[in-house]
Amino acid sequence: MKNAFVHLVGKSYRALTPLIFLSDSEPAHDFVLDMSEFMGKVPGIPSLMRTCLRVSHPSLKTTVAGIEFENPIGLAAGFDHEAQMPRIVDGLGFGFQSVGTVTNGAYEGNPYPRIKRLVKSRTMLVYKGFKSTGMSNVLKRIKGQTWRVPVGISIGRTNPLKEYTYPVSYADIIEAFTKARDSKIPFSYFELNISCPNMLKEVSFYEPEHLAPLLKMICDLKLPKPLFIKMPIGLPDDGVKALLDTIMQFPVAAVIFGNLQISRKDPAFIPEELATLEKFPGNWSGMPCQKRSDHLVKLAHNHVKGRIAIIGCGGIFSAEDAYRKIRNGASLVQLVSATVWEGPQVPAEICADLPALLARDGFKHVSEAVGADAGKV
């Protein structure tokens, strides 16, 4: 009965998308976040959402990096950059959430426009550039909260900094991690985001010689919870493998593939739509990320050979999309864009449909399906 209701909510949302898409993307995004924060504060609303929308099934429960997840579907960093949603995210059906990305210093965001939709291509042009009120303000917002699902905090370099050098960038990131560690807020994991392609000045951690010192500094902090790393998808395969080799020298629990697509040549784009945003800077979420992310999940699974968990992110709109990433090697998956095209209840819909896909292929538990297709070219 609940599965049918969840799908009815989804159909109703999708019927309204022609009207929803008339609104400008960034104000709509801000409205959703403000409403989410308000709803989380109203007694009874989070529990009502859980009753109506949350779908549970024993085949979906899993443990990754010592963390127990009721289901493997997460809300990726980049949507809730000010941590306004943790009190209701489980009521939408998510099994976990990365808040942020949060930076040590405040930044009002890159110049407008920062979010633009291509409706038919199922993608958003994103150019926020780690918009953030700063770590101290975000921690103050959620201090004293407790959550029903694992919540991690995604941390990145402040954009912009007064000085663009590696020592200054390292110090900035370490200060943010230190504040989060010392806050006593019950984060289930810490996430280092090295993937954002929208920074105003390039101090890149895409090279092993620049990433290794940062990871050593972070590990020296002796974080009380596991460390995840959000990875870029624009590097060539050899570059990705080199980063993975560096990461495996440190006690990193998981890597996330990945973030925004930088290429405008992906076949997911409708050329006529893409031409309308040709002059705007930024990079792409949603469907243009799907093929590359699927490939990198499989590549990483085969390369790390179980030493690090893989989290798949990019182009997940349905249970079939999530299942494909799991079979490619992802122990968990994350999404953002699907909440715009399919509706905020989409994680519940995925959780309603995923058990049948597992059962069809003879899997009693989602963990059994991880990497089932990783050996296939």
**305's torsion region: left (phi>0), alpha (psi -120 to 50) or beta?**
left
CA 131 to chain centre: 16
Q: Does this model's pTM top 0.85? A: yes
Q: Is the pLDDT of residue 191 over 90?
A: yes
Kindly state the percentage of the chain with pLDDT values over 70. 98
Contact 299, 237 (CB under 8 A): yes
Residue range 345-365: mean pLDDT, rounded: 98
| For residue 137, pLDDT beyond 70 | yes
Tell me, what's the pLDDT at 200? 63
Q: Is 61 left (phi over 0), alpha (psi -120 to 50) or beta?
A: beta
- At 130, the pLDDT band (50, 70, 90 cuts) reads confident
pLDDT for residue 44 is more than 70? yes
Integer Cα distance of 66 and 180 in angstroms: 20
For 298-338, what is each residue's pLDDT tens digit? Answer: 999 999 999 999 999 999 999 999 999 999 999 999 999 99
The residues spanned by each domain of the chain are: 2-369
Instruction: Provide the CATH topology of domain 2-369.
Output: TIM Barrel (3.20.20)
As to burial, measured by CB atoms within 10 angstroms (0-12 exposed, 13-18 middle, 19+ buried), residue 328 is: buried
- Give the model's pLDDT for residue 201: 65
Average pLDDT, the chain: 94
Per-residue pLDDT reduced to its tens digit, 217-227 = 999 999 999 99
- At 251-293, the pLDDT tens digits run 999 999 988 888 898 999 999 999 999 889 899 999 999 999 9
Q: Please name the residue ranges forming H helices in 221-286.
A: 237-247, 271-275
Alpha carbons within 13 angstroms on the beta-carbon side of residue 327 total 16
Asked if 292 and 258 touch (Cβ cutoff 8 Å), the reply is: yes
Q: What is the pLDDT of residues 70-96, one digit of tens each?
A: 999 999 999 999 999 999 999 999 999
